[in-house]
Amino acid sequence: MQADSLAVRAAPSLSAAKVGRFALRYALVIILAVFLLVLAATNHTFLTLSNLNVILIQVAANALLATGATFVILTGGIDLSVGSIVGLSGVVGALFAQNDGVGSCVEAVLLGILAGTAIGAFNGALVAFARVPPFVATLGNMTVASGLAFVASDGQPISGLSDLFLSISGEFHGISIPVVVMVVVVAVAWVLLARTRFGMHIYAVGGNPHAARVAGVSLRTNRFAVYAISGMLAGVAGVILAARATAGIATNGTGYELNAIAAAVIGGISLAGGRGSIIGTVFGFLIIGVLDNGLNIINVSPFYQLIVKGLIIIGAVFVDSVVNGSDD
pLDDT in tens, the chain (328 residues): 555 555 555 555 556 767 766 776 676 677 777 777 877 887 888 888 888 889 999 999 999 999 999 999 999 999 999 999 999 999 999 999 998 899 999 999 999 999 999 999 999 999 999 999 999 999 999 999 999 999 999 999 999 999 999 999 999 888 899 999 999 999 999 999 999 999 999 999 999 999 999 999 999 999 999 999 999 999 999 999 999 999 999 999 998 998 899 899 888 898 889 999 999 899 889 888 888 888 888 888 888 888 887 887 787 777 777 766 654 5
Give CA–CA dist 239/108, Å, rounded. Answer: 8
Q: What is the residue type of 96?
A: F
Dump the DSSP string for 142-158. Answer: HHHHHHHHHHHHTTS-B
Rounded to whole angstroms, how far apart are CA atoms 87 and 145?
8
Please tell me the distance from the alpha carbon of residue 320 to that of residue 306, in angstroms, as a whole number.
Answer: 21
Angle separating helix axes 27-42 and 2-25, nearest 10 degrees: 50
Q: CA-CA distance, 249 to 185, in Å (whole number)? A: 24
Q: Return the pLDDT at 213.
A: 94
Residues listed for the chain: 328
CA dist 72 and 239 (Å) reads: 21
What pLDDT shows up at residue 193? 97
Q: State how far the alpha carbon of 108 is from the alpha carbons of 239, 249, 254, in Å.
A: 8, 15, 22
User: Tell me, what amino acid is at 47?
Assistant: L
Q: How far is CA 202 from CA 95, 218, 259, 322, in A?
A: 36, 10, 22, 24
Compute how many other C-beta atoms are within 10 angstroms of the C-beta atom of residue 43.
14
E strands in 60-138: none
Which residues, other chains included, contact 271 with Cβ-Cβ below 8 Å and sequence gap of 6+?
73, 78, 265, 317, 320
Query: What letter represents residue 238's amino acid?
Result: G
* Residue-level pLDDT at 24: 65
Domains plus CATH for the chain? 29-317 (1.10.3470)
Beta strands in the chain (DSSP E): 171-172, 175-176
Name, in order, each residue with C-beta under 8 angstroms of 306's C-beta and a sequence gap of 6 or more.
Answer: 255, 258
